[in-house]
Amino acid sequence: MTVQALYRKWRPQTFDEVIGQSHVVDTLCNALTSGRIHHAYLFAGPRGTGKTTSARLLAKAVNCLAPEDQRPCNDCRICQAINEGRLIDLMEIDAASNTGVDDVRELRERVGFRPNEARYKVYVIDEVHMLSTSAFNALLKTLEEPPPHAIFVLATTEAHKIPNTVISRCQRFNFRRISVGEVVERLEWMVQQEGIPAEREALTIIARQATGSMRDAESLLDQLASYGDQGISVVEVRAALGIGANEAIVQLAQALIEGNVARGLNVINTAIDEGADPRQFARQVVEYLRALLLLQFRSGVLPNHVTEDLRPRLEEQARAADPRFLTRAVRLFNQAVNEAKSAWQPQLPLEMALIEAALPAEPASSAPVSHHQARSPSSPTSSSSSSSSWLGTADTKHPADTKPHKTASYTPSAPRSMTVADGEHPADRKHPADNELLVESSLDRGDGSLTPEGLSQRWPEFLNDLRPRNMSLEALMRSSQPLGIEEDVIILGFDYEFHRGKVEEDHNRQEVENVLSKMVGQRYRVRCVLQREDGPTETKRHQPSHAAPDPSPRQDVIQEDPVVKMAVEDLGAQVVMQ
């Protein structure tokens, strides 16, 4: 014998039982008592928040035989017929299965007939956004001129897909996600009715997992009620849902803040080996790091999963972490949530998020080099960060260096160097752009110690530094190589005139000069030239006024450009030199 699902068994039978949607319930009840019944309603909101349930309650209330202030009574024959699903004047249509215009035309033909036994014919069209454009156009005519005995309730999770012409003819009610506290309260009532022992913390985990959907929470409760004979405990909920323990999340956050990658990797793999679902674990990490950010900026908002015994630990970690570092970590672990779904190695996205978060932040075009890079070796902060480097080694000089650099941009520093000083609020910290200006101004002019050979060896490093700042520029620079160095000017040779010209643009050239200067620790300018088999050739911009350009080699270079080649070979174009 099949057992009725809990979400169907305990579906609200009166408006008072609907939770989390008081703004909808109050408006509908006032409309019922005042007799202001509209012919079309639009119920929009996330799944499992009570849209279909409210539509059925509205159908009962407008047709109930009891006095207006007692509707729905659930005792009259109309209410009982609706509760038992046998009232033919209530029609629930799944728009996902009836998307065509013919289905709507059939509905229009039937809507003209008067109700059989109820006061109104009520049409509940679920997932209405799935209707085709022609079907919406057909429905629009009925909504414009509805018969007095018909009421339409359109329910959707994606209101933005419904034409505005349809929305404008409906009274719209936006259903919101239900809070964790309200879901827990409802679940506690249900387990009491069912006689199921359950720990409150276990129900809280279920409510958080449901992300505001009452139906999802009830379905999870139904599933976990059969998990064991001893009731629903925290341990069983975590095991069934693949959720890591809070302590593992706290330890991982601490490892991130300290820059201890080895410890963080161990926490991740231990949690996965013990049965934690990688996606759930990543979500928990994101929630925890978000809580740290909210505490840092004194928002007054704290996620519901933060208990009083956990708050002191959160506040301690919030004081020790840099907000920009946390923001970056949240983004990386949020990406890991989606990547873990299809990863062949389930914990790999989590491991990569951890490692990338611990690495020094790459400079971006809008946000210059992170302040945990480019520390002066003589500063106390640099000394402490060196001893706790995430690589576990002290800062060392690059083999290609001939003298100490004023920056350590290529030496990884622990995120600990980004910690907030005691008593200092993260919002009071100077913008990292200020630090970058200080770094650039502190660089000495190139002294000639840099060689083309040494720069060539570090060219991949330069490209990696340039990529996050300007990916297009990095692609252009891949066709170049250092040809020579004249005092504080680096001569870059390009294979194609187009690439050379783009890099020569002021903003691109300055970007290249900044990244190169930071990498080598000295201030250099760049000059871009075309390189040929018989040596570098500068364009007119760099040629003396008396030097006449040789059109023949220039034409050869242009014709070798891959874009030009494709135009000539595939489109029949011709190269015309002027």
Query: Do residues 494 and 539 share a domain?
Result: yes
Chain-centre distance of CA 101, in angstroms?
37
Model confidence at 82: pLDDT above 90: yes
Instruction: Decide: 527 and 542 in contact? Cβ < 8 Å.
Output: yes
Residue of higher predicted confidence among 375 and 41 = 41
Region 24-29: mean pLDDT is 94
Query: Do residues 397 and 489 share a domain?
Result: no
Residue of higher predicted confidence among 565 and 328 = 328
Min mean pLDDT across 56-65, 107-116, 514-523, 536-545 is at 536-545
Query: Do residues 149 and 184 share a domain?
Result: no
% of the chain with per-residue pLDDT over 70? 74
Residue of higher predicted confidence among 412 and 274 = 274
Residue 557 forms part of a structural domain:
no
Pairing state of beta strands 489-494 and 480-486? antiparallel
Residue 365 forms part of a structural domain:
no
pLDDT in tens, 305-345: 566 667 788 888 888 888 888 888 999 999 888 887 666 78
C-beta neighbour count of 114 within 10 angstroms? 12
In 46-146, DSSP assigns E strands to 90-94, 121-126
What's the pLDDT score for residue 570?
Answer: 54
Q: Tell me, what CATH number does 144's domain have?
A: 3.40.50.300
What's the pLDDT score for residue 243?
Answer: 66
pLDDT bin (cut points 50, 70, 90) of residue 237 is: confident
Edge-to-edge, what's the strand order for the sheet holding 90-94? 90-94, 121-126, 150-156, 40-44, 171-174
Residue 156 makes CB contacts below 8 A (sequence gap 6+) with: 42, 43, 44, 51, 127, 128, 129, 162
Region 404-419: mean pLDDT is 38
SS3 of 418-472: HCCCCCCCHHHCCCHHHHHHHHHHHCEECCCCCCHHHHHHCHHHHHHHHCCCCHH
pLDDT in tens, 115-174: 999 999 999 999 999 998 888 988 998 898 889 999 999 999 999 999 999 999 999 999
Region 491-517: mean pLDDT is 88
| Cα distances (angstroms) measured from residue 58 to each of 38, 50, 504, 553 | 11, 12, 69, 82
Residue of higher predicted confidence among 266 and 560 = 266
Residue range of the domain that includes 234: 180-241
Model confidence at 176: pLDDT above 90: yes
Residue 578 forms part of a structural domain:
no
Residue 293 to residue 170: CA distance in whole angstroms: 41
> Taking each helix axis from N to C terminus, what angle separates 22-34 and 51-63, rounded to the nearest 10 degrees?
10
Query: Do residues 29 and 155 share a domain?
Result: yes
Most confident residue range from 36-50, 293-307, 425-439:
36-50
Min mean pLDDT across 113-117, 189-193, 239-243, 441-445 is at 441-445
Residue 55 to residue 42: CA distance in whole angstroms: 10
Query: Do residues 323 and 435 share a domain?
Result: no
Query: Do residues 237 and 250 share a domain?
Result: no
What's the pLDDT score for residue 565?
Answer: 61
Model confidence at 522: pLDDT above 50: yes
Residue 255 forms part of a structural domain:
yes
Query: Do residues 68 and 159 share a domain?
Result: yes
Model confidence at 396: pLDDT above 80: no
Min mean pLDDT across 72-86, 210-224, 263-277, 560-574 is at 560-574
From 241, 261, 288, the end of a domain falls on 241
Q: Looking at this protein, which amino acid is placed at residue 374?
A: A
Model confidence at 51: pLDDT above 90: yes
Instruction: Decide: 6 and 194 in contact? Cβ < 8 Å.
Output: yes
Residue of higher predicted confidence among 295 and 415 = 295
Region 36-46: mean pLDDT is 94
Model confidence at 471: pLDDT above 70: yes
What's the pLDDT score for residue 5?
Answer: 87
Looking at every residue in the chain, the average pLDDT score rounds to: 78
Residue 574 forms part of a structural domain:
no
Residue 264 forms part of a structural domain:
yes
Residue 363 forms part of a structural domain:
no
Region 104-113: mean pLDDT is 88
Query: Do residues 399 and 340 share a domain?
Result: no
Q: Tell me, what CATH number does 199's domain have?
A: 1.10.8.60
Residue 421 forms part of a structural domain:
yes
φ/ψ of 475, rounded to 5, equals -65, -40
Residue of higher predicted confidence among 121 and 435 = 121
pLDDT bin (cut points 50, 70, 90) of residue 563 is: low
Region 202-222: mean pLDDT is 89
Residue of higher predicted confidence among 359 and 45 = 45
What's the pLDDT score for residue 245?
Answer: 65
Query: Do residues 221 and 83 share a domain?
Result: no
C-beta neighbour count of 506 within 10 angstroms? 7
Q: Tell me, what CATH number does 351's domain have?
A: 1.20.272.10
From 196, 221, 241, the end of a domain falls on 241
What's the pLDDT score for residue 362?
Answer: 55
Min mean pLDDT across 130-139, 355-364, 380-389, 412-421 is at 380-389
Query: Do residues 169 and 304 share a domain?
Result: no
Residue of higher predicted confidence among 566 and 476 = 476
Query: Do residues 120 and 24 share a domain?
Result: yes
Number of domains in the chain: 5
From 241, 271, 294, the end of a domain falls on 241
Q: Closest by alpha carbon to 156, among 134, 191, 125? A: 125
Query: Do residues 20 and 159 share a domain?
Result: yes
Q: Closest by alpha carbon to 522, among 450, 437, 438, 432? A: 450
Structure tokens at 316: 């301690």
Most confident residue range from 336-350, 381-395, 423-437:
336-350
What's the pLDDT score for residue 24?
Answer: 95
Instruction: Decide: 429 and 420 in contact? Cβ < 8 Å.
Output: yes
Region 276-301: mean pLDDT is 84
Instruction: Decide: 199 and 165 in contact? Cβ < 8 Å.
Output: no
